[in-house]
Amino acid sequence: SSQSDSKDEL
């Protein structure tokens, strides 16, 4: 889960 929610950024 750690990396996935930073992928909602551009």
How many residues in the shown chain lie near other proteins by CB under 8 A?
9
**C-alpha gyration radius of the chain:** 6
How many angstroms separate the CA atoms of 7 and 5, rounded?
A: 5
Residues contacting residue 2 through CB under 8 Å, at least 6 positions apart: none
Q: How far is the CB of 6 from other proteins (least distance, A)?
A: 4
For the bound state, the minimum distance from the C-beta of residue 10 to other proteins, rounded and expressed in Å, comes to: 5
- Using CB under 8 A, which residues numbered 1 to 10 contact other proteins? 1-3, 5-10
Question: Which residues are at the interface with other proteins (CB under 8 A)?
Answer: 1-3, 5-10
